[in-house]
Amino acid sequence: MKQFENKVALVTGGSTGIGRATAIEFAKQGAKVVVADIVDSSETIAAIKAAGGEAIYVKTDVSKSADVKALVEKTVATYGSLDYAFNNAGVEMGGKLTADVDEAEFDKVISINLKGVWLGLKYQIPQMLKQGKGVIVNTSSTAGITGVPSLSAYTASKHGIIGLTQVAAIDYGKSGIRINAVIPGPIKTPMLEGTMGNSKSAKDKIESALVMGRLGEPQELANAVIFLCSDGASYVNGTALAVDGGWLAK
């Protein structure tokens, strides 16, 4: 029997990258999966079904309360429960000195990256309380641990996710709900590729700075999320697990 047989997993930001890899892995482990994103996720759904899994897509803007509330309601209405949630949706920002960032850009990054995680918790936790258990994993970043030059809003949002994760874990740890975060290092995703462009020199520069000399794969993050949701992590709560190839060790 697969470890998540008859369980239900919700993944935001599931159209590409880490979200897609994790949604597919949840399905491989037996879970029914709800994939949420503001953009079409048909490729993710197709990959899940091709692997013999079951999934639906729900268009969701994680910065909007009504959307996130409706997402959780749709999940429960379709599959009957919510056992695991991976709050992964996020956006990057252009590199600008702190005082040069437009207020609208700052608000957008905070609204999606940080408020979006909080809204996920706000609507996922009550359902898990009804069930008496559940696991939530939030996506932070190495920028949630250290400052990144010219990425003030992004860095602030990712720091905030770790603090939010810790407080929520304290608030609900005695209620059977575990809440943790993952800290991706440089991962081979469309977001990072968009930052690097088609520049081989930019990729080479990043890889040369990495302890392991290579970018991480989305599947490596998916494996970490699956572990945190598994019974093998039953005493792991309120932590931020770095999956960064040693980036933060330097």
Q: What are the tens digits of pLDDT across the range 53-88?
A: 999 999 999 999 999 999 999 999 999 999 999 999
Q: Is 235 a catalytic residue?
A: no
Query: pLDDT, tens digit, for every residue of 117-132?
Result: 999 999 999 999 999 9
Pairing of strands 84-87, 32-37: unpaired
Query: pLDDT, tens digit, for every residue of 188-226?
Result: 987 666 555 556 677 778 888 889 999 999 999 999 999
pLDDT of residue 207: 82
145 exposure class (CB count in 10 Å sphere: 0-12, 13-18, 19+): middle
How far does the chain reach from its first CA to its final CA, in angstroms?
41
Query: pLDDT, tens digit, for every residue of 133-163?
Result: 999 999 999 999 999 999 999 999 999 999 9
pTM here is 0.95
pLDDT of residue 192: 65
Q: Which of 57, 79, 123, 154 is catalytic?
A: 154
CA–CA distance, 53 with 50 (Å, rounded to integer): 7
Domain ranges of the chain: 8-245
pLDDT of residue 112: 98
pLDDT of residue 100: 97
Contact indicator for 69, 49 with CB cutoff of 8 Å: no
Structure-token pair, residue 141: 């970043």
List beta partners, residue 104: none
Q: Quickly tell me which residue has 């932070």 as its tokens.
A: 140
What's phi and psi for 245, nearest 5 deg? 65, 20
Q: Which H or E element spans position 137? A: strand 134-139
Q: Which of 29, 35, 42, 31 is nearest to 8 (CA)?
A: 31
CA–CA distance, 215 with 50 (Å, rounded to integer): 27
Determine the distance from the C-alpha atom of residue 152 to the mean position of all C-alpha atoms in its chain, rounded to a whole number.
20
| 8-245: in CATH 3.40.30.10 | no
pLDDT of residue 209: 81
CA–CA distance, 132 with 128 (Å, rounded to integer): 6
